Amino acid sequence: MRVPFFDYAAHFKEHEGEYVRIFREVMGRGAFILQREVEEFEQALAEFVGVKHAIAVADGTNAMLLGFRALDLPAGGEVIMCSHTYVATAAAAHYAGLRPVPVEVSADRTIDCDSVEEHISSRTCAIMPTQLNGRVADMDRLEHLCHRYDLVLVEDAAQALGARYKGKAAGTFGAFGTYSFYPAKALGCFGDGGALVTDDDVVAVKVRRMRDHGRDDEGRFVMWGTNCRLDNLQAAILTFKLSRYPEIINRRRMLARRYCDNLTDVNEIQLPPGPDEPNRFDIYQNFEIEAERRDQLRRYLATKGIGTLVQWNGQPLHRLSALGLSRDLPRTETFFQKCLMLPLYPGLTDDQVDFVCEAIHEFYRSH
């Protein structure tokens, strides 16, 4: 049995007929840029997460960048974020004239709130949790810190569309939240794509203008902008996939539960929180474990035809010395010696999950 980490071809073939129909309809009308498909997707996304505004853009990185620029934060202000995030989170802050400050990861793989408070300084202007692996951070604590220190709260929810904390959707807690629709995401298109969501009318107007060269609704250039529009074809595909997204989330949660049930007795690994935790609704964008002898385990699984991944290619933010982000974060350092993601996507079968789990059992029995 072969278990790829992600099956990109199957991602298309599952609904090939529907995708071909969408392609023909959109292409046949010559509807390429900022036509009705984009508006329909934005309306559907805003309704799904429960916000006033959803603005579709070219990718998740640009969503964060435009969000930061729309807030008019002080030049050189510090943005606290978890070191366990992709470089795009830090890059968005950097290119908005801000300074990313990486802090420790918590036991549930999200940002550590104690470490956040330890790193707040007179230069701090914002806190940006990454809602990682389809899980929302401790937003009660983060909202309290923002209120106490007069900071702006924004969210990198690239991996967490549909996740909830105490009933509230990831991406809807702060001044803005952002999502990515990269193909491997829980809601993925067939290229790059992203969105920003907000209840702030001013932020929404600015982001809509900035994504289209700073043009207002009458076509006048009223501010500096860029070109980062989501194209119509991807928007139409995302609208179709969003209509069945609850099924996708349900399947991911079922697979996560199966992993947890099968691996709970392996003492050498630490599992992520299970799907029945109170106050959390995780969508399991990834299933990230901590494993003793991680590299040996990974090689062993590869001999069985099982694909795995160390997130960010093993490069948390605090290790990116070339970008000036070096920092002493011992808990995150220890975590990155053990972290490993197992295959998890809707097309994965129960038998494949059982095969992965049995291989992990075999490895630790023989080592």
Look up the CATH number of the domain holding residue 30. 3.40.640.10
Contacts of 190 (CB under 8 A, 6+ apart): 11, 12, 19, 183, 234, 237
Same domain, 253 and 238: no
In a domain, 3, yes or no: no
Residues 204 and 276 in one domain: no
**Helix (H/G/I), strand (E/B), else coil: 288:** strand
Indicate if 258 and 116 belong to the same structural domain. no
Look at residues 181, 212, 243 and tell me which one is the last residue of a structural domain.
Answer: 243
Q: How far apart are CA 11 and CA 120, in angstroms?
A: 42
Q: What is the CATH number of the domain that holds 285?
A: 3.90.1150.10
Q: How far, in Å, CA of 120 to CA of 25, rounded?
A: 51
pLDDT computed for residue 135 by the predictor: 98
Neighbours of 149 (CB within 10 A): 15
Give the chain's domain count: 2
Q: Are residues 285 and 307 in the same domain?
A: yes
190 and 250 part of one domain: no
Q: Look up the domain containing 42 and give its range.
A: 8-243
What does the pLDDT read at residue 31? 84
Helices (H) and strands (E) in the chain, counts: 13, 14
Residues 192 and 277 placed together within one structural domain of the fold: no
In a domain, 338, yes or no: yes
Closest to 136 (Cα-Cα) out of 110, 107, 174, 105: 110
Indicate whether 143 and 258 sit together in one domain.
no
Question: Is residue 252 located within the same domain as residue 239?
Answer: no
Residues of the chain short of pLDDT 50, as ranges, are none
CB of 253 closer than 8 Å to CB of 284: yes
pLDDT of the residue at 11: 84
Based on the domain organization, do 200 and 301 belong to the same domain? no
Compute the chain's Rg from CA coordinates: 21
Residue 121 domain-assigned (yes or no): yes
Whether residue 2 lies inside any domain: the answer is no
Which of 209, 228, 243 lies at the terminal end of a domain, its last residue? 243
| Residue 111 confidence (pLDDT) | 98
